[in-house]
Amino acid sequence: MRRSCPRRPGPLAAALLGLALLAAALGASCRGRTRPAYLTPDYGSWRKTTELLLDYPVPGHMDRLRVPRMNELGWSARPREEGGKLRWDFPEGSVIVKEVYASRNPAPGEAPAELTIMVKAPRDPAAQGGWLWLTKAPGGEERLFEGSFCVTCHANANERHPYLDGNPREEFRDYVFLLPALPAASPGPAAAEPDAY
Ligand code: HEC
């Protein structure tokens, strides 16, 4: 069954982005829409986009341990040079999932408390910045996040920002903070192999 969902929060809500708002906004996201599940069951084996220990606080994802992973299609993305700067455009169907644990130090084998998901789907009318923004609770279904909360903050990835390398040259990074090619990111075993051609 479909329900109508508000497309965007008002300007005041947008101005109040922060830790408390995330919880509230997640609860208010639209649950009724039927969509395919984008996370395949093997997602736990997708390569991590960084080996950095993401246990420090960031607004929007808090100070809980976070493990970002990307499907193989996403790993095929290569930036092109435009005006002396790199420009990223992930292929349609790229999926990035970030496992968010309940605390900074989850017990061995502990399951994540929540998954936040980005799916590159520029032709989907619900896409914002070319991506669908979703969340998934353990055992629950993927829920499309139709407010502008996620995309507004992730737009910072395309400009100079306070996270990771800070994007000092203001490259367009397709709303992704942890690019596979950033020095801190892990190339993973497959990418470390010499090119076959
Ligand atoms: C206030 C800022 C902010 C908001 C809001 C936010 N994020 Fe993020 N997100 C980040 C930062 C910073 C990272 C980089 C990794 C880290 O430190 O956790 C990130 C990383 C991610 C990643 C890994 C890909 C990447 O960009 O590196 C996914 C997937 C993700 N977020 C999904 C979401 C979804 C879905 C929402 C909305 C429900 C959301 N985020 C809301 C700041 C935000």
- For 65-116, the pLDDT digits (tens) are 999 999 999 999 999 999 999 999 999 999 999 999 999 999 999 999 999 9
Pairwise CA distance, residues 37 & 51, whole Å:
27
Quickly state the pLDDT bin for 33 (edges 50, 70, 90). Answer: low
Q: Is the C-beta atom of 59 inside 6 A of ligand 1?
A: yes
| Closest listed residue to residue 93, CA positions, set 72, 65, 69 | 72
Report how far ligand 1's centroid is from the alpha carbon of 118 (Å).
9
Token pair, residue 9, equals: 């929060």
Ligand 1 proximity of 28 Cβ (cutoff 6 Å)? no
139 and 63 Cβ atoms separated by less than 8 Å: no
Q: Ligand 1 centroid to 150 CA: how many Å? A: 7
Q: How confident is the model at residue 61 (pLDDT cuts 50, 70, 90)?
A: low
Q: Which of 92, 90, 98, 129 is nearest to 114 (CA)?
A: 98
Residue 185, pLDDT score: 47
Structure tokens of 49? 């986009």
Tokens of 171: 């490259």
Q: Report the length, in residues, of the chain.
A: 197
Amino acid at 67: V
Sign, CA torsion 118/154/29/125: negative
Both tokens of 102, joined, read: 């309940």
Sign of the torsion angle spanned by Cα atoms 71, 72, 77, 78: positive
In whole angstroms, give the CA distance from residue 11 to residue 126. 20
What is the reported pLDDT for 49? 95
Question: Does the beta carbon of 145 sit less than 6 angstroms from any atom of ligand 1?
Answer: yes
**For residue 148, which of 172, 170, 122, 127 has the smallest C-alpha distance?**
127
Mutate to test the pocket of ligand 1, among 39, 49, 75, 177 (most ligand atoms within 8 A of CB): 177
Mean predicted lDDT score pLDDT of the chain:
80
CA dist 111 to 19, 98, 162, Å?
22, 13, 29
